Structure 1
Amino acid sequence: MKKTLLLTALAAALSIGLAHAGEKLVVGATPVPHAEILELIKPELAKEDVDLEIKVFNDYVQPNLQVFQKKLDANYFQTKPYLDGFNKGKKADLVTVVGVHVEPFGGYSSKYKSLADLPDGATVAIPNEGSNAGRALLLLEKAGLITLNDPTDALATVKDVKTNPKNLKFKELESAMLARAYNQVDLDMINTNYALEAKLNPKKDALILEGADSPYVNFLVARPDNAHSDAIQKLAKALTSPEVKAFIAKKYDGAVLPAF
């Protein structure tokens, strides 16, 4: 009798423990600001029985591949144009869940104080990935340094440059490598997350910077089969909370802007 009661009690305890363990959610993110924002909301999600595990990546390819391969539940690091390019190139079907923030893209130089100082034949480093390359070129066109065949093409490449008065030489690098090239090129077109990691202040250090009206919102991304799950929706709600908005404003001082 005592043994039966003991087993019953143990089973009940195990059941309660499992009930409070919650659902595990594995999310890929780049370090700044994405992983930092996820760390902020981790305790709040735990209260809602969501056990958030954050996997940090320093590239833009693996987080998408691993969501598509179901090694991750979701990721948080990219814009819609970049996701569209990935889906097209990899024949994938990842979907956006919610827009969280904008990171104004910028051009930086360790050698010159203004774009006007750039010499003829200056070397400009730009991302080599579809939408990021296009984003850099569109910003250079906005600054009057080049013109493009189609100034609305978010996937423009260096082959689409129509006029180049300063004879700029383009050096195409993986986004994660751009900050390392900062002292090696004349103008470095860097995604804000990598600029922040390199201790560059977009508001103070960028010679050219997208405005708050940038259409390049960073999204939480998942698969069609889990995007509407309870855990993903709780994550989406937490990412667009007043607490996150206040954290972004205080932590990044305009280098990152809430999109909600």
Structure 2
Amino acid sequence: MSRWKKAIFTGIALVSLLTLTACGKAASSNSSHTGSKSESIIIGSSGSDYQIWQHIAKSPQAKKAGLRIKVKQVSDGNVTNSATAEGQLDVNAFQSYAYFQQYNKLNPSEKLAALGTTYLEPMGLYSKKYKQLREIPDGATIGISNDPANATRGLLLLATAKLVTLKSDFNALSTVKDIQANPKHLKFKEVDPSVQMLPDLDAELISNTRALDGGLNVLKDSLVHEKLNQTTRANVNILVTAVKNEKKEEFKKLVPLYHDPTIQSWIKKTFSGTKLDVNKPISYLQQK
């Protein structure tokens, strides 16, 4: 069993037991939970998304929509998805469409459904040693996430920056082994996404959630970052629920609530424009 899978199973065992016990008890005490006006919709989230949904839960817009929302803070993405599939959480808000697709492929018995899009949070390449992309030296060591979805996303960003060339069949399950050309002879070191930039790295690919936690603005501090276009569709974040719940009207209301102009104005101001609003149907993300 790989280190990554062991981490997932360990996380599920620990976090499901400790963090989500209260949610599980709430779900089991009322098996007919539907997210109606008399009950709260339980949203699992983390980092800046947790902050956003706390704000939305208390907003006049949520009250006007007739939604009662409780936000649970969770730290592990796979645990959050598992808890959502099992009904301990109604909805979760933390992941990209690519992450969601990969989870469903690896967990066919706990498949999830996408409710709608929220934003693109650009991934960036950061460095404490160099101020411009062209300064990255031959043989530089690049930190890349040990999470497969974010690692693939990072490689695509490096390809956009013309630091590497990827194989023609590069896909969501590809790795550094699928680099076709590496003219700068870059070396790659897997890093835990939960820690800050390591001192022995020349540069590091960092998700915007983690960058924000570290006081970085992807639009200003990165050497290069993702742009919102056709090639980054799979990196758009989504709201997710269990397949059995995807038709529930109360859950569907969360999508337009997120995109409410007043809510969006607050998000833009709070996160310095680093969460790019994407109000598109899920079919947009599914295009080839």
What range is the shorter-chain TM-score in? 0.7 to 0.9
**Structure 2 vs 1, CA of residues 162 and 232 (structure 1 numbering), >3 Å: closer, same or farther?**
same
SS at match of 2:172: coil
Q: What are the ranges of 5 or more consecutive residues in structure 1 without an aligned counterpart?
A: 1-19
Query: Quick one: distance in 1 between partners of 2:257 and 2:72?
Result: 18
Query: Quick one: distance in 2 between partners of 1:27 and 1:183?
Result: 36
State the 1:127 CA deviation. 1.5
Q: Which residue pairs with 1:246 in the alignment?
A: 265
CA RMSD of aligned residues (A): 1.9
Deviations 1:112-159 (A, max 9, x none): 111221222211111122221111001101111111112752332011
Asked if structure 1 preserves the Cα contact closer than 8 Å seen for 2:125 and 2:223, the reply is: yes
Match 2:225 to one of 183, 187, 209: 209
| Correspondence list, 1:194-233, <5 A | 194-213=210-229, 214-215=232-233, 216-233=235-252
Structure with greater Cα Rg: 1
Deviations 1:157-213 (A, max 9, x none): 011011112221111123333xx1343311110110110011011111100101132
Q: Which residue pairs with 1:146 in the alignment?
A: 164
Q: Which residue pairs with 2:72 in the alignment?
A: 55
Amino acid at match of 1:204: K
Query: Quick one: distance in 2 between partners of 1:183 and 1:141?
Result: 24
Q: Which residue pairs with 2:115 in the alignment?
A: 97
Range moving further from structure 2, 93-102 or 163-172:
163-172
SS at match of 1:195: helix
Match 2:40 to one of 21, 24, 33: 24
**Structure 2 vs 1, CA of residues 155 and 71 (structure 1 numbering), >3 Å: closer, same or farther?**
same
State the 1:48 CA deviation. 4.6
State the 1:40 CA deviation. 1.8
Match 2:181 to one of 160, 163, 169: 163
SS at match of 2:253: helix
Amino acid at match of 1:188: E
Q: Is 2:143 the counterpart of 1:128? A: no
SS at match of 1:220: strand
Deviations 1:51-94 (A, max 9, x none): 31111223322211111122111100111111110011111320
TM (norm. structure 2) is 0.77
Q: What are the ranges of 5 or more consecutive residues in structure 2 without an aligned counterpart?
A: 1-35, 280-288
Asked if structure 2 preserves the Cα contact closer than 8 Å seen for 1:145 and 1:166, the reply is: yes
Instruction: Report percent identity of matched pairs.
Output: 34
Query: Quick one: distance in 2 between partners of 1:185 and 1:90?
Result: 33
Q: Which runs of 4+ in 1 moved over 6 A?
A: none
Query: Quick one: distance in 2 between partners of 1:167 and 1:25?
Result: 49
SS at match of 1:218: strand
Q: Which residue pairs with 2:275 in the alignment?
A: 256
Query: Quick one: distance in 2 between partners of 1:45 and 1:22?
Result: 14
Range moving further from structure 2, 144-153 or 187-196:
144-153
Deviations 1:9-36 (A, max 9, x none): xxxxxxxxxxx9721211111211x112
Amino acid at match of 1:83: F
State the 1:104 CA deviation. 1.0
Query: Quick one: distance in 1 between partners of 2:198 and 2:268?
Result: 26
SS at match of 2:205: strand
Q: Is 2:87 the counterpart of 1:70? A: yes
Amino acid at match of 1:220: L
Amino acid at match of 1:38: W
